[in-house]
Structures are given as structure tokens and as C-alpha cells.
Homo-oligomer: A and B are copies of this chain.
Amino acid sequence: MSISDLISSIQLFEQLPGDVLQKLTQTAKLQYFKKGTLIFDSSRSRKVLVYIVTGWIKLSRDVVDGSEVIIDVLSDKQCIGENMILGNEDQLFNAAAISDLELLSIPMDFLRELVTHNHQFSLNLLKILSKKQQKLSLEMEHLSIKSATQLIGCFLLRLCTLKKSENAVLRFPYDKSLLASRLGMRAETFSRALAKICKECEIKTVDDILHIRSIDKLVEYVCQHCSQTYPCKEIMQ
């Protein structure tokens, strides 16, 4: 797929005039990263917007005490840094490849310029930011009312709707330990909680492959403690 094709397929750039798309195509760079490499650290997080073509990226922030917090884990067709285009000065973050990765990198300066002059682009951006905010807000709710076991179940449910797999066979898209931090818990807690939900909801696991027999049981176990009802209308991802 050419850069030009990629650019036109990105939601953020929908309905933009041809000359803008062309300039974007010229400015964007296709890049490749090996699993485990750093894409950028916080000092550069304001400089580029990244669009993931294929692969997985983890976003994290450094904590004063020396540890790190996982903010998000993203994959195909998602953008990183939209909220850096306007207004965001402080909230920096690191991005690292957790799988082999193909991405499009677009200088933030160009987009800052674009948003002030192109109304359509600002509308696209607004739509995406609104959606992200929804997602964040729901995740916060989850953190405060769901147990570790339910958080994992909720993740599995979203994985189901994402893959739309009928038979409900799926696999963890990345390391369990990373998923644990993503969900705000320790790896040990994750391990135990996963075992628990598997037992309670008729799920079989072999390594990182999951066999969900009854989505209903999972929904019943997970979605009681939530303001949304399954399936969560693609709010996630």
C-alpha cells in the first residue's frame, strides 16, 4: 500500500481537499520498528503524530518514583498524539513497539498549521477526540468499580466484539504481563484473576489461546458493574 493510499484511508484525514492530501503524502514518512524498540520518548511526543499501519504500540509515562505507568496499548489503524495538536503542553509520554511495526509518522508542526487553516480537519479531529474521551471516561469508571477479575473479563469481551469471532476462540494480542499493567494490576494478580474467571465462566485456556464457550456467562459476570450494556457499541478500540 502506498503512502498516498494510506493517507486517504485515515479517518483523521477524511474529506480533505486533494492538495492537502498530497502535501500530507509528501510530509509523511513510512517507518519500521523492531519489536521492543523505543519509537519516541516524552521529549519527542509533541513532535510527531503516529498512525499505526500494522503492529502494536504501548504508551507509557515515567513516574517520579522511577516506575512507569501504561497509558494505553494501541494497534492497527489508530493514531497516537491527536491531542498534542492543540493545547496539550504538559502531558508527555513514551511510545514503544511491542511487536514488529509499520507506521506512518507525520510532523506535528504541519498538523498544527493545518488545523488552524482547514475547518474540515478540525472537525475530523474533534470527532476523534470526543471518541477518545468517551473511551477514557469509561475506562476510569471501570477502574473505580470493577474488580481485577471483571476488568479482565471486560477486556475479553471487547476482544470478542473486535474480532467478531463466532466460535469465540481468540488469543491474547500481547504479553499477559503487559496486559496486566495496562489494566492496572500486578502480573501475579492477573494470573490468579484469569484462572478465576476461566473457572467461573467456562473458558478454556492453552497458553495464550482462549476458548470462550458462553459469552452470556461472561457478560453476566462482567457487565453488572458498568454503566454500559454489552456489546459496548465499539466505544473501546
Contact = CB atoms under 8 A, between A and B. Distances in A.
A130 B63 contact: no
Q: How many copies does the complex hold?
A: 2
A139 B139 CA distance: 11
A5 interface: no
A235 B136 contact: no
Given A122-B122, A136-B137, A139-B140, A145 B63 contact: yes
Interface in A91-141: 91, 115-116, 119, 122-123, 125-134, 136-141
Interface residues of A, number: 51
Contacts of A83: 129-130, 133-134
A175 B83 CA distance: 33
Nearest to A121: B122
A235 B90 contact: yes
Interface of A: 61-65, 67, 69, 71, 83, 85-91, 115-116, 119, 122-123, 125-134, 136-141, 143-145, 184, 223-229, 232-233, 235
Which 10 A-B residue pairs are closest in the complex by CB-CB distance?
Answer: A144-B184, A87-B130, A61-B227, A87-B127, A122-B122, A119-B119, A136-B136, A143-B143, A83-B130, A86-B126
